[in-house]
Amino acid sequence: MEIKVSNMKFDRNIPPNFLKYINNRDKHIVDICRGKNVLHIGACDHPFTRERWEKGNLLYKRISDVSNKQLGIDLIEGAAKFLNSKKIPNSRIILNNMNEVQNLNFIPDVIIFGETLEHLMNLETAIQNIKKIMKEKTTLLISVPNAFYFMNFLFALFRKEHQHPDHSVAFTFKTLTQLINKNNLKVQEFYFTSLEISSDKNMMNFRGKLMVYVIKFMTMISPVFAETLMITVKK
């Protein structure tokens, strides 16, 4: 159903071909990176770098196990030094920011831009800088927290807002696709998904495990309640 207001047209529905739910975001990312040259923006996953390295679920390390080459960029010097000291084959991290990404001497097949966009103030500048280094065959993979995540509504019942203190913006299916389309890029696939670390039931108490099952039940009712949005983008 569409509602027309002045010259604007609003579509209440999500296209059925985009109603896909993937239980494990990281596994899907790793599969896309297999055998590819990967540019990994925000690769250190600070401040959880050491913790996730020790638990074996750091995405940077998992990508290095399957990719041809991986170049990570980050702003956190200590975390970058820590990962570079591990001497991971075919992978390294350099200190760089979004305004300098077009100066990299690296041609990526895949660009990972995960859980980073929501921290930035100038979203269009970030997308345009990435666009400058994309080739026709480059796949840009973006993931962001979902504004319609079921836990957000649950916290709202208790007059609280369930948001990371460093987030500048919250995304929905529509707002994320609008951002991409308005920057003359094409959304190839759109997924509702979950972060693997949030699904590690073995690391939780009974209440935590129960909440995971409740969230999974809600995403079975509708993927729109999922924790994370993930899209693949082409030039």
Q: What is the pLDDT of residues 156-170, one digit of tens each?
A: 888 887 777 677 899
Domain limits of the chain?
14-234
Q: Where are the alpha helices (DSSP H) in 70-205?
A: 77-84, 123-133, 150-156, 173-182
Which of 68-72, 140-144, 222-226 has the lowest average pLDDT? Answer: 222-226
205 Cβ contact partners less than 8 Å away, ≥ 6 residues apart: none
For the domain spanning 14-234, the CATH number is: 3.40.50.150
Please write the tens of the pLDDT for every residue from 123-172.
Answer: 999 999 999 999 999 999 999 999 999 999 988 888 887 777 677 899 99
User: 148: which 2 tokens?
Assistant: 């319609």
Residue 227 per-residue DSSP state: S
- Judged by DSSP in three states, 156 sits in helix
Q: Please give the pLDDT value at position 2.
A: 38
Q: Where are the alpha helices (DSSP H) in the chain?
A: 25-33, 49-55, 59-64, 77-84, 123-133, 150-156, 173-182, 206-221
Query: Is the separation of the CB atoms in 66 and 35 below 8 Å?
Result: yes
Residue type present at position 93: I
Q: Decide which of 98 and 117 is more confident.
A: 117
Per the DSSP assignment, residues forming a β-bridge with 2 are 11
Distance CA(146)–CA(150), nearest Å, equals 9
Terminal CA-CA length for the chain: 30
Burial of 42 (0-12, 13-18, 19+ CB in 10 A): buried
Query: What is the rounded average pLDDT of the residues 204-211?
Result: 75
